[in-house]
Chains A and B, each alone.
Chain A
Amino acid sequence: MATWFAYLEGSLDTSTAPETEKAMRPLYECEGKDIIFDCTGLTYISSAGLRIFLDVLKTAEGKGEHVYIKNVTDAVRTIFTITGFSNIFEFK
């Protein structure tokens, strides 16, 4: 299975979300590919960022593909958890 990587860094918030969403668009054509978000450099994620992750997940799952989140910081992982999204993504 081929894999696509998306590297995120800095703060994914309302101001950076539109550009990030645009950069993520190719991921919607993910037939036959797993997606890995490498979050090593991601320092913060807001609701706008969560929505981008959820859109990619929904599209990928619709095509039978997997989305993994890798190297996430404690701060970002906490946001996924307190909003109840911790168990719908596969954290590596």
Chain B
Amino acid sequence: MVKLDPHGEELLRQFRELRPTLEQLEKDAYSLMHDALRKQGIYVTAIEHRVKTEKSLAGKLELKGAKYKTIDDVTDLVGIRVITFYTDEVDKVAVIAKNLFDIDWKESVDKRKLHQLDSFGYNSLHYICRLKEGGPRFELQMRTALQHVWSTIEHDTGYKGDVKIPREYVRQFNRLAGMMELIDDEFSRLRLAITDYRRQTLALVKDGRLDDVLLSRDSFRDYLELQPFDRLNKRIASVNQAEIYPVSLMPYLRVLESFGMETLGDVQRFIDDNSDDAYHLALSWLAITDLDILSSSTALQYLCLVHVLKQNGGQKGLNDFYDTINGENDSNYMLASMMLKQAETLPFMQKTKDED
């Protein structure tokens, strides 16, 4: 049970009176921060916000009520906490906060810089802010997800409580804090490296230096932006004046990898070498129908079928292809047989036989 002196009681009365204003402030500050982050394209783990509870305030006043002349001196009656994924984003959020709010620099503190050289801690950046139009101050905390985990665990274990913690446990805490800091930095560095790699890959793809680009999920996605199958799709669609229905081509990456392709150059050669035969195989099926809708993976599918057959994959190769793209299924054998039978009527299969 909290016992307050008359000054503490007076501060609590002022708090109750101020509460509707604080609730409005909480909503306004949250909305401003939320909208600004979205506008800047910064995706965060969470934005927490709250008005201090009366119980929590009473506890604080019991301990250090004399420190505050009026309720306005308590700066964390409203709290906003932005939890980011990466360390560099904490600084970005801080810049956004500087533009959105008036910052009370005397009260604000970067706890990340408070630690001595021989100690570790893992804390966040705290700003004491005020809306540009005035009103009570509020506290804005900015931290990474790992800093948040650290703070929560630190709080939970009572590390900073009244009981003195033995030196060996303090040392263990410090080791963990150091490790968390290292992990946070490494995640940021890794993200930067991946972003750089993506940028370089995109540049190589755009320059047509496809042999320099390893086939991967990212590079294949970038390559698809050049619409490499578009021309063949349109050629096939022209058979029945068909609509091309967009679907993802990413599932075919596994197929291309299973063909042993290592670079985007390999994929480009696969298109160049097989397009005519893929068109004729598609034509042999579609010309006898009035089907006027095709998926955007049609060209790629026929390219794969032709590639398998030219590599002498036969029935088994076609079956493996359908297993990869459709998932293992009883119908795949039937599809493979049917495709093989149809392809055997086409010139490229005769040529393949002759070469053998």
Interface, chain A (partner B; CB < 8 A):
46-47, 50-51, 54, 72, 74, 77-79, 81-88, 90-91
> Which of B242, B292, B294, B326 has the most chain A CB atoms inside 10 A of its CB?
B326
Residues of A within 8 A of B295 (CB): 83-85, 88
Q: CB distance A87 to B326 under 8 Å? A: yes
**B160 → chain A, closest Cβ, in Å?**
44
For window 181-209 of B, CB contacts with A under 8 Å fall at none
Q: CB distance B325 to A87 under 8 Å? A: yes
Q: CB distance B338 to A91 under 8 Å? A: no
The yes or no answer to B165 lying at the interface (CB within 8 A) is no
Q: CB distance A88 to B293 under 8 Å? A: no
Tier of interface size on chain B = 20 to 34
Which of B62-70, B308-316, B329-337 sits within the interface?
B329-337
**A44 → chain B, closest Cβ, in Å?**
11
Q: CB distance B335 to A81 under 8 Å? A: yes
The yes or no answer to B296 lying at the interface (CB within 8 A) is yes
13 A–B contacts from the bound complex (CB under 8 Å): A47-B293, A51-B293, A54-B245, A54-B293, A77-B335, A82-B282, A83-B291, A83-B294, A83-B295, A83-B298, A86-B301, A86-B322, A86-B335
Residues of B within 8 A of A74 (CB): 331, 334, 338
Known: A74-B331, A79-B289, A83-B293. 11 other contacts (CB 8 A): A46-B290, A50-B291, A54-B245, A78-B335, A78-B338, A82-B282, A82-B289, A83-B294, A84-B297, A86-B326, A88-B295
Residues of B within 8 A of A86 (CB): 301, 322, 325-326, 335
Residues of B within 8 A of A72 (CB): 331
Residues of A within 8 A of B334 (CB): 74, 77
Residues of B within 8 A of A78 (CB): 335, 338
> Which of A72, A77, A83 has the most chain B CB atoms inside 10 A of its CB?
A83
Known: A54-B245, A83-B298, A84-B301. A91 touches B331 (CB 8 A): yes
Cα distance A87–B285 when bound, in Å? 18
Interface, chain B (partner A; CB < 8 A):
242, 245, 247, 251, 282, 285-286, 289-298, 301, 322, 325-327, 329, 331, 334-335, 338
Return the chain A residue nearest B233 by Cβ: A84
Return the chain B residue nearest A54 by Cβ: B245
Residues of A within 8 A of B296 (CB): 84
Q: CB distance B286 to A87 under 8 Å? A: no
Known: A77-B334, A88-B247, A91-B331. A82 touches B285 (CB 8 A): yes
**B257 → chain A, closest Cβ, in Å?**
16
Residues of A within 8 A of B326 (CB): 86-87, 91
**B232 → chain A, closest Cβ, in Å?**
12
Residues of A within 8 A of B298 (CB): 83-84
Residues of A within 8 A of B289 (CB): 79, 82
Known: A72-B331, A91-B326, A91-B331. A46 touches B294 (CB 8 A): no
Cα distance A85–B292 when bound, in Å? 13
Residues of A within 8 A of B285 (CB): 82
Cα distance A19–B93 when bound, in Å? 56
Cα distance A3–B292 when bound, in Å? 31
Return the chain B residue nearest A14 by Cβ: B290
Return the chain A residue nearest B329 by Cβ: A91
**A68 → chain B, closest Cβ, in Å?**
12
Residues of A within 8 A of B290 (CB): 46-47
